[in-house]
Amino acid sequence: MKWLQYTLSISLIVISFTPTYHGMEIIGGHEVKPHSKPYMASIQIYDMTIGHYVHNCGGALIERRWVLTAAHCKSSELTRVVLGAHSLKWNEKSQQKLAVKKQHSHSQYNENKHANDIMLVELSSEAKINKYVNLLKLPADKGADVEPGTRCTVAGWGATKPNSNFASDLLQEVDLTVVDRKICNYIYRGNLNITEDMICAGDGQGKESAYKGDSGGPFICKGVYKAIVTAGPDIPNANQPGIYTLLSKKYLAWIAKVIGVQTYNMTAEELY
């Protein structure tokens, strides 16, 4: 019923466009069971003004040396990835803090259009797999689409209140509903084209949202890793769902190519 109300409200209301932003946060969610999502990664940058690392984006560990995130999370600042965390405030024994070797953003990433907003972060050393740190498998369905009305989950350490610049200490999650592309394109008409490589999702009430600091995090539907948090409205809006980069066939091929090439080069160097 909520989904029907959401659809009707969109079709009946004349919607004014609110600019989207890069950097999302969990609004209206709840704390996850500690270490129940061992694939979650906190991508952090070194803040010179305060003298320590701060959370910038989320991501998912897909291989021992690779974290998948959003291209707009790329930073020229000193960057590291923290795995095995529940609290970012406390130096938990479960945490692994790894330096970043290289950031591989998609060559056709377009910031204004939110197109190809996908990036692989190559770690300087392998993550140690255990009960606190584990891999999130890429979809085995060759990038199949997600049906409108499907309930999916987003997790992250983004701020929990609108207009806040402070990351959440504890990992949060929220459930959202996938919105039909035709409806989403109507909402963003003239400002953004929702392509077949994107999906939209929201709660229809403007109370729950992947919203700052949660960009790049995994969007999981029925237990399957389906998309990456990309963008959303400046303030949670019942009539404006967030945008996610679908792990489509072309992106799965891109991931395989990047990881494959890097693995091949590393092996060749070791041989010589």
Over residues 63-94, the pLDDT tens digits come to 999 999 999 999 999 999 999 999 999 999 99
Q: What does the alpha-carbon distance between residue 49 and residue 238 come to, in Å, rounded to a whole number? A: 37
At 91, list the tokens: 């130096």
> What distances in angstroms separate CA 137 from CA 34, 44, 46, 140, one per listed residue?
20, 23, 29, 8
pTM (two decimals): 0.84
Q: Is 22 a catalytic residue?
A: no
Number of residues that make up the chain: 272
At 271, list the tokens: 């041989």
Q: Is pLDDT above 80 for 207?
A: no
Q: 222 in helix, strand or coil? A: coil
Q: What does the alpha-carbon distance between residue 123 and residue 120 come to, in Å, rounded to a whole number? A: 10
Domains and CATH numbers, the chain: 19-30+138-249 (2.40.10.10), 38-136+250-262 (2.40.10.10)
Q: Which of 42, 106, 117, 248 is catalytic?
A: 117
Q: Is 72 a catalytic residue?
A: yes
pLDDT for the residue numbered 262: 61
Please say whether the beta carbons of 158 and 166 come within 8 A. Answer: no
Give the pLDDT band of residue 4 (cuts 50, 70, 90). Answer: very low
Q: Which of 22, 55, 72, 86 is catalytic?
A: 72
Q: Is 117 a catalytic residue?
A: yes
Over residues 189-200, the pLDDT tens digits come to 767 899 999 999
Q: Is the backbone of residue 84 left (phi > 0), alpha (psi -120 to 50) or beta? A: left
pLDDT for the residue numbered 10: 36
Over residues 146-187, the pLDDT tens digits come to 999 999 999 999 766 655 566 688 999 989 999 999 999 998
Q: Which of 42, 168, 209, 215 is catalytic?
A: 215
